[in-house]
Every structure is written in C-alpha cells, then in structure tokens.
Structure 1
Amino acid sequence: MVLTPTADTPPAVTVERVETFTVALPTLRDFTIAGGRVTARGRPAVRVLVKVTASDGSTGWGEATPIPSWTYETTESIVSTLTQYLVPAVTGLPLWDLDRLVRACDRTIRRGWSTGMPLARAALDVAWHDALARSRGVSLGRLWGRRRHESVELCWIAMGADPGALAESVAEGRAHGYRHFKIKTALASGPDISAEVARVKAVREAAPDARLIVDANQDGTQDSALRLARLLEPLDVAALEQPLPANDIEGLRRLRDLSPVPIAVDESLRHPSDLAAFVRRGAIGIAVAKVQRCAGLTLALRQCQLAEDCGVALMGSGLTESDIGLAASLHLFAAHDLIAPADLNGRQFLSSPYATGSVIQVRAGVAEVPSGPGLGIGIDEGIVRELAR
C-alpha cells in the first residue's frame, strides 16, 4: 500500500541546497604536531564550511579542517569531493533521514582501509544535523534524546621546543583558568628520546596536579613508543595517545599489553567497524572520540555508543576547529562520559569572526554546552562570505 500526502499530511522537508565556503580565519598562535604545522601565527587558517538549506527554510552549518600534516585530505580535495560528488548525491533527500545521508555518502565515495574522505563528509553531516534540529526547534541533545552533562572541561595544549618555553605555555594556560594539559611529542628522530621526556617532565613540574595527556600522532615505532611509555610512568601521565601508525593494530595491541601508561587510540578509529576490529583483538582500552575523523556526528555517535557497550573508555578531541566544530563536539561529548578533559583547542589557536549572537561560553577552561536550536550558535553569513576565498 502506498501512502500519498493529504491535506493533513504535510510534505516531508527535504534538503534543497548545499553550499561550500572556503574561509581564511585569523590565527593566534603557532601549533605544530609530529607531522608538521597546523597553524602559523600571522598566516590565515583555512577551513571549509558547508551550509545546508532545507525546503522549510531551515539552515545548518558544518566545518571541515584540512590538515595534511594529520591526514590526507586537503582543502582542494575536500571542496571537490563535496561539490562534485557528495552534494549532487544528497540534494533532495529527506532532512530527517540521517541514515540515508550516510548510505548515500558511502555509495558515492567508497571506503578504502576505512571511511573515504571523512572530513568532507563531516562538514556535510554536521550541517545536516544543525538544519534538522533547527527545523524542529530543538538542540542536538534534545534531537538525540541524550545529554548527560551541561559543560565539558577542556585541556590546554602546552607548546614549546624546550622546557622553558613549555613552562611559559603552561603558565599562560593557567592564567586563562585551564587546569589540565596536553603535549604533542615526536618519536621519529631516533633512539634518544630523552629530550621528549624532558619536555613532558617540564609540563608536569609546571602543573603538578593536572591531568596530563601525551600525544604522538602516529610518530613512533613499537620500540620507541614502549621506551617512551616506560619513561613516562613516573610522571603520572593519564594517556599516551596514538604512538603508532593508524593501521598497526597488532603493534597497538602489544603496546597496550606492555605499557605501564594507558594507551589511547585516535587516528585508527575512522569508522565504528575500526573500533570493533580493535575490540576483537584486545587492542584498545581508551578510544578518542572525534567528530571529523568519524565523518560526522551520525557515525561518531555510533562509535561512542559501541565503545561504551564494549567497556572501552572515551576521551574527547577535535581538529582545531572554529566555533562551528567546537559546538558539534561539545554536543557529542556532553552525551557521553569522558575520562579526561577534552582537547578542543580551536579557541587557543584561532578565532571565529562569523560566530555571533549566541556564542559558546568558555570560563576557566570549562565550556558550556549550547542549549539553543541546532548547534546552538549564531552564524553571520555575511562575514562568512567576506572571509571566503
């Protein structure tokens, strides 16, 4: 039996238009990870924004962060994937049908080792969520029927090549009210990792009571990562994050078994099935939740729920997003229980000129989860268009 719309059955709200904007945002500080530079003070930080417009006039915004030093997607590949492939495939779909959005993206950009073009997909998925929730006049938490926390504690990224610079960075973070810290480390320089241990020690001495996370961003080998973990044990490190390449499941399993420091997995977990593979092999105890890495909120929610169901602890992280990505991550993390402060560091390294009206409040290193419709923040489209390249 086929049901046809009647006077009492309003037509389904569909997605009428999807627009893409490449914007240049002001940077506040230098930021470098093991793979290279993320931001450079004085040089604009490029982000790709997506605007979804539905047939009822509702709009939503999403964001992609091209960081080739972290993953393979570039500004050019994100824009071309969206405009040439994903947007034509999803325009006209019902706004409510998030599952159909995911399946359409899966068919259009096939996966390789894991999800194909997750950052591009994330911008579309988050904008879709924002428009759907605004169409219904509710926040994302109400849309999901899930919000456990009204705020999320954040950590400050301690930056510096030497102990003195790191101590100054920690002092700056403390002056802004942050209590907990994360430090990036590099392990590919050779067998002598004493300099990296000294850097971590400097942060610990400057913040003796802080939760401290060390992130290697895939830079180590099994031997160098294990040596580092053993040397970090006296420094009371909460987690050593992704010290091995993303596809080295057996290496991460071995490291988890041998390391005296908890090992967290980030870049390896682009799809819920990736997490399932780690769980089956006993290779994971801490999973890092990240919206863009998971191709958006739909799959990120599935992955976080799977982690909880499997007894895997969750930490939260981002990709140095502007306030659009910050809002999406806050809603995701507020729906779950994190074991450590979240690394949502966009405010530390760049500004979001287009965030107006309802803005995210961060006080003493704690971010309030927005409560308004959709993402819960205001976006000035005129400023977005002024910033567009």
Structure 2
Amino acid sequence: MPTPGPERTGALNGLVVERVETFVVELPTIRSFEIAGGTVATVGQPSRRVLVKVTAGGVVGWGEATPTPSWTYETTESIVTTIDRYLAPAVLGAPAWNLDAITATFDRVINRGFTIGAPIAKSAIDIALHDLAGRAIGVPLGVLWGQRRVGRIPLGWIISAKTPEAVADSVTEGHALGYTAFKVKIGLAEIDQDLAFVEAVRRAAPKAAIWVDANQAYQVDQALQVARRLAELDVAAFEQPLPANQIAGLQRLRDHSPVPVALDESLRHPSDLATFVRLNAVDVAIAKVQRSGGLTLSRRMCALAEDSGVRLMGSGLTDSDLGFAASLHLFSAFGIDTPVDLNGRQFIESAYVGGHTVEVRDGEAAVPTGPGLGVDVDEAAVRALAVDVLRADPPVRIPPKSGR
C-alpha cells in the first residue's frame, strides 16, 4: 500500500476534535463466560459496550469501551460519565492527530493515582482518534505507524466451564471451528478442580498450545502448587496468578515457577512494566489495549517489553469488532504471532457493523487493511441498539408500617 502523500497528511494536520459522542449498545450474547472475579457474559442477556464517535472536520472515527466490573472497577455508567463530563470537554478543539498531547491531557483530567486512572474510558477515545487519523488519510493503522509485521494472527479458544465434561465439550466445539490453541480460565473453583479442568483440556487436545489465566485468584503458595502441576501438563504460560499489586509475591513466584509467569492486570501503564523488569519479576507481558488506556500507551509498553527482552502475548476484554480490530493492529505491529485471547467473536455479536470488518477463518484473524481500524460502523444500527443507562429509575416507595 502506498505511503500517504503530503496532501493527505496535510489534511490530517488541520483537523481538530469537534465532537465526542457516546452510545451504550446492547449486543446479542452467544455464550456465557465466567472468570475468577465473576460473570462476564450470560447467554440470553445482552452484553453492553460503550461506543465512542469522534468527529473532526467531517471525518469520523469510532472506538469501544468494554465495561467488565468483574475484572476491573469501571462500569458502563462510570465510563459514560467519565467520557461525557471529563474527557470529552478536555479534548474539544485539540489537534486530532496529537495523540501524545491528548494522552497527557487525559492524565491531568483523570489522574493516574496508583493505577492509570479510568483506562477503559480513555481507551475508547484514543482508539476512535486512531481510527479517525487513518480514515483522514486513507490508510490502515499499520501504515499510519509504519509498523506492520504480520498479516494474520492465531486466536485461542477460551475454556470457561464448571465440569471436566463441559471442558471437553468446549474443546470439541473450538476444534470444529478450526481453533488449535486453548486458554483455560482457572481460579473459579478449588485448586484440585481447577487442575482437573486443565487436565481435561490436555486430554481432549493432546498436541494443542495451552495457557491458563487465574485472573488474580491465588496467593503465592497456592500459585506455586498449581504451577508445578501445570508444568507436567505442558502449559505454555501462567497468566496473572496473583493480585496485581503483589509485586514481591510475583517476584518470588517468578523465581520458583517452572511455568513462565505472564502479567496482565499488573501492567496498566508502561511504568508498571518498567518496575517488574527492574525487579526481574516478569517472563511475559500481556498486551491489552483497553487495560492500558488505548493504543498510544499500549505501543509504548510493547516497545519497552521488546527492548527489555520480555516476551509479548496478546489479550482483549471480550471486545466487539472495533476493539477486536484495534488489538489486531497492535499485535501485528509488534509481530505477536502466537495465539492471542481476543474472544469477542466467541461470546458476542457485533450487531452494529456494516460492510467491512475483521475476517476470522479457521481460528485465525486477518489484520484489517481498510482505512483506520478497517471496521465500517452502521450508525443507524448503533442508534437503534443504544440504551440510556443514566436515566434514573423511579424511586421505590416503601409503604409505612401498620399503626402509623
């Protein structure tokens, strides 16, 4: 694909953010999904996503936020109010191309504290601005960045089941759809039962790549016990075994675990990774766009991991197709060609998409080549799917006790 000419880059240079809109959409849920923190999706109940539309000079970009209270503190309502009342007003009139300055503005408006500070809300605008920039000059994000190493990325099928029999059925379903790698959610039960789930996956898929994710469920002694058994089952990585802020515990675990320790929730900001690198407490860094406040900071974190000799793996937040595409562009830029956890297609339908979107075939996703994210949004569908989550419910009247 040709490099954009000066007339196109000049057009981008003149764009300023004119409007930021949020839409809470309810998407169909295909399968139920649980993690150690609680329920992520329930079949038969809609899954809510916050879509963000940014407009600059007649060009539109779209982003996505995935509320997951069972995983982190941001709710659907808090994401909407954070964007509408704090982030959006702060970026109106800002140059749409200056993502570094906008990231700094976000940090002033909603400060980081110990963590990044409302990363999922910030991520939605950052993704939308990337989409807008690519569309303004007619190129995909890889061309915009000058960094695209792979064109297809293998996906992992997620195993989140409550019995070994259900685990085996899920593996069979994934195999039938062309998946050859499996990520097992553990920490949902007692240790023996967690290990029985992993053993059931290994029996059903004896040659598959398998990694496990505990979502902060264990303490150090428990995690070491689990890790020794995982090594016998040829598990490739042990993701986030301990609470995110247990730095000393993660350092001890990394020193003694026979399975590489991968960090996810611990890595909100690039500076978090820098700390774990200095302490020699990380084997694998998980790249996750929404967790790290968007593509701008995620690229910084991935570059730091690469320069520090830390292996990268990829993950998402059960994103619909906008977030799915953003992650694929990031992983492609850094050549992450091992199976990644981008599980949105497994659990929800992106009912707002019109025209081009991400192609998934035989357990692999093609990195989009259209402008921006490469996902066409049907705004009429977005508006039809949208709900008002901030409308106050009528007060509940409590009848007086008898005799009063």
TM-score, length basis structure 2: 0.92
2:25 aligned residue: 23
* Paired residues of 1:211 and 1:340 also in contact (CA < 8 A): no
1:12: how far off? 1.8
What is the identity, as a one-letter code, of the residue corresponding to 1:182?
K
What is the identity, as a one-letter code, of the residue corresponding to 1:197?
L
1:339: how far off? 6.2
1:95 equivalent to 2:99? Answer: no
1:338: how far off? 2.6
What is the identity, as a one-letter code, of the residue corresponding to 1:21?
F
1:6 aligned residue: none
* Paired residues of 2:154 and 2:337 also in contact (CA < 8 A): no
2:206 aligned to which of 183, 186, 208: 208
List alignment gaps of at least 5 residues for structure 2: 1-9, 388-404
* Paired residues of 2:238 and 2:260 also in contact (CA < 8 A): yes
1:121 aligned residue: 122
Q: Residues of 2 paired with 1:204 and 1:132: CA distance?
A: 44
* Paired residues of 1:313 and 1:339 also in contact (CA < 8 A): no
2:36 aligned residue: 34
* Paired residues of 2:63 and 2:128 also in contact (CA < 8 A): yes
After the TM superposition, which residues 55-74 of structure 1 pair with which residues of structure 2 at under 5 Å, given as runs?
Answer: 55=57, 57-74=58-75
After the TM superposition, which residues 230-269 of structure 1 pair with which residues of structure 2 at under 5 Å, given as runs?
Answer: 230-269=228-267
1:157 aligned residue: 158
Which segment is superposed worse, 9-18 or 22-31?
9-18
1:109 aligned residue: 110
List alignment gaps of at least 5 residues for structure 1: 1-8
SS in 1 for 2:312: strand
* Paired residues of 1:140 and 1:373 also in contact (CA < 8 A): yes
Moved over 4 A (4+): none
> How many pairs does the alignment contain?
377
Q: Residues of 2 paired with 1:129 and 1:291: CA distance?
A: 12
1:360: how far off? 1.0
Q: Deviations over 1:74-94 (max 9, x none)?
A: 011101100000000001100
Q: Residues of 2 paired with 1:35 and 1:59: CA distance?
A: 36
What is the identity, as a one-letter code, of the residue corresponding to 2:25?
V
After the TM superposition, which residues 139-150 of structure 1 pair with which residues of structure 2 at under 5 Å, given as runs?
Answer: 139-150=140-151
Q: Deviations over 1:203-252 (max 9, x none)?
A: 01111111101000001000111100011111000001000000111111
1:308 aligned residue: 306
Give the RMSD, CA atoms, in angstroms: 1.1
2:330 aligned residue: 332
1:3 aligned residue: none
What is the identity, as a one-letter code, of the residue corresponding to 1:322?
S
SS in 2 for 1:260: coil
Q: Residues of 2 paired with 1:324 and 1:125: CA distance?
A: 12
* Paired residues of 1:30 and 1:41 also in contact (CA < 8 A): yes
1:356: how far off? 1.6
1:293: how far off? 0.3
What is the identity, as a one-letter code, of the residue corresponding to 2:320?
S
1:5 aligned residue: none
Q: Deviations over 1:124-163 (max 9, x none)?
A: 0000100011111111000000000001110000131111
1:388: how far off? 0.4
Q: Residues of 2 paired with 1:302 and 1:267: CA distance?
A: 17
SS in 2 for 1:121: helix
1:33: how far off? 0.1
SS in 2 for 1:355: coil
1:348: how far off? 0.2
1:361: how far off? 0.7
What is the identity, as a one-letter code, of the residue corresponding to 1:180?
A
Q: Residues of 2 paired with 1:337 and 1:217: CA distance?
A: 25
